[in-house]
């Protein structure tokens, strides 16, 4: 197969569902902005050079429907020749989109592609607008539709992940994220236009624009404050709002090009996707997915844990993240794990997360002068995914 090089990878800030700064900004506006910006910030590249878009979205309906992969490119001002598709693998949708976009280049089907992700959990909530489980299957396999929070409780109880350890993990995520924000270390973030509707004197509403520069879910946290929070999914459980990921709005985009096209246009590669792996696991403990996906990806790449300089492991819940890190021995390398915080502080915008973490991984590899990074997450329904990236 041909080489497929990443030449750009960016993200918007992540903003809290309903209460955040993107709560009146539609998902089409977020993703079309970051797509256009990714092209504009890539020297020697024009929108007409993009051939196809793969867009990850976990709930592609309502404002995120009508094949947003195609529509967003049009709203970004790309020519009609740029095609697009919407990809859904729940929490790994953005990473899946980047893998598919890379594969198109590797197979020789496209020269330049875009892999992206978007989710507005404000406009389309978790589960979508009309969840409708199959009645007979749900009666015999209720675990297929179980709440993600219950799966986190299952992981905590089955594998002895204590409340204290979960809260300490959450506290560290918030601390690292605040330090990175204050130190200007989120170099993958693009200040992003947001909108609000302001009532005028005559009773009408005017759409006004403002700029969002930072993730707005980072908050001052103490271990005492976390310990006071009530459990959410089980009275005798350990999972709280403080040690779980935030539901979030956001978008991200990565541009991939063949070596030949890089040489022709003078594009500067910054990385490449080395390999991508997915695997299934029990639905009622879906959070263990990275425990199995990461070893599969490492085996495919001929690498070991020790070769990895940056781990971006999605913090869907502290319980499942801790379990996976401990089982794989990655907990011995915590100085390489989510070095600027994770989803507990920064949010988990579902279909955007894989694309978002790719941008973060590449930026952090540059910061630490590393070579290999892993992006991994658990996936609703009982799966795990892992992508290994090489910095060039």
CA angle 111, 115, 119 (to 5 degrees): 160
**SS3 of residue 361 by DSSP:** helix
Length of the chain equals 392
Looking at residue 234, the DSSP 8-state letter turns out to be -
Q: What is the largest CA-CA distance in the chain?
A: 66
C-alpha 373/C-alpha 365 separation (Å) is 7
Nearest to 351 by CA among 215, 270, 243, 248: 248
62 by Cβ neighbours in 10 Å (0-12 / 13-18 / 19+) ranks as middle
Kind and range of the H or E run holding 346: helix 343-346
Task: Enumerate the active-site residues.
Answer: 91, 348, 378
Dist. CA 344–CA 171, nearest whole Å: 9
Q: Which residue has the tokens 């941008």?
A: 359
The whole-angstrom separation of Cα 48 and Cα 384 is 35
Q: Cα separation of 387 and 369, whole Å?
A: 19
In this structure, what token pair is assigned to residue 162? 């204590």
Rg over CA atoms, the chain: 20
Helices (H) then strands (E): counts for the chain: 12, 12
């Amino acid at each position: 197969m041909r080489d497929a090089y990443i030449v750009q990878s960016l993200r918007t800030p992540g903003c809290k569902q309903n209460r955040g700064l993107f709560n009146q900004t539609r998902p089409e506006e977020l993703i079309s902005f970051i797509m256009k910006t990714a092209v504009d910030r890539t020297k020697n590249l024009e929108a007409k050079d993009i051939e196809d878009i793969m867009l990850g979205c976990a709930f592609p309906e309502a404002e995120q429907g009508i094949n947003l992969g195609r529509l967003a490119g049009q709203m970004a001002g790309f020519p009609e020749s740029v095609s697009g598709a919407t990809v859904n693998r729940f929490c790994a949708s953005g990473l899946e989109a980047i893998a598919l976009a890379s594969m198109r280049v590797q197979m020789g089907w496209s020269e330049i592609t875009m892999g992206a992700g978007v989710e507005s959990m404000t406009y389309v909530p978790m589960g979508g607008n009309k969840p409708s489980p199959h009645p007979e299957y749900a009666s015999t396999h209720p675990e297929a539709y179980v709440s993600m929070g219950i799966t986190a409780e299952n992981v905590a109880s089955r594998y002895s992940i204590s409340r204290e350890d979960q809260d300490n993990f959450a506290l560290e995520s918030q601390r690292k994220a605040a330090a990175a924000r204050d130190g200007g270390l989120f170099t993958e973030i693009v200040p992003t236009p947001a909108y609000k509707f302001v009532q005028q004197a005559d009773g009408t509403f005017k759409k006004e624009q403002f700029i969002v520069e930072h993730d707005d879910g980072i908050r001052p946290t103490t271990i005492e404050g976390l310990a006071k929070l009530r459990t959410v999914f089980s009275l005798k459980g350990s999972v709280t709002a403080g040690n779980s990921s935030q539901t979030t709005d956001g978008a991200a985009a990565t541009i991939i090009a063949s070596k030949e096209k890089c040489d022709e246009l003078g594009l500067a590669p910054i990385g490449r996707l080395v390999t991508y792996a997915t695997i299934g696991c029990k639905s009622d403990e879906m959070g263990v997915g990275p425990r199995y996906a990461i070893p599969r990806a490492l085996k495919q790449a001929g690498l070991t844990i020790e070769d990895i300089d940056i781990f971006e492991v999605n913090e869907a819940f502290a319980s499942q993240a801790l379990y996976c890190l401990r089982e794989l021995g990655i907990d011995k390398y915590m100085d390489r794990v989510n070095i600027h915080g994770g989803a507990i502080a920064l949010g988990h915008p579902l279909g955007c997360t894989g694309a978002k973490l790719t941008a973060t991984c590449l930026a952090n590899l540059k910061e630490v002068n590393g070579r290999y990074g892993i992006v991994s997450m658990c996936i609703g329904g009982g799966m795990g995914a892992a992508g290994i990236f090489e910095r060039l």
